[in-house]
Amino acid sequence: LSVIAKNSSPNASPVQLLVVRCQLSVVRCHWLITFFYSLFPIAFR
């Protein structure tokens, strides 16, 4: 994603907003996965 943002410099701000939004969603999903893993560790084995 960083390479795409560098190649499309005129659309840098929308691309950067999209990248930040994707990163926030990934962090949120990772937090949910770790939260459910700590709650139900047997279900993931």
DSSP notation for 1-45: -HHHHHH--TTHHHHHHHHHHHHHHHHHHHHHHHHHHHH-TTTT-
pLDDT at 36 over 70: yes
Q: How many domains does the chain have?
A: 1
Whether residue 32 lies inside any domain: the answer is yes
To the nearest whole percent, how much of the chain has pLDDT over 90? 0
In a domain, 23, yes or no: yes
Q: Which pLDDT tens digit goes with each residue over 19-32? A: 888 888 888 888 88
**Is 11 part of a structural domain of the chain?**
yes
Range of the domain at 24: 2-39
44: in domain = no
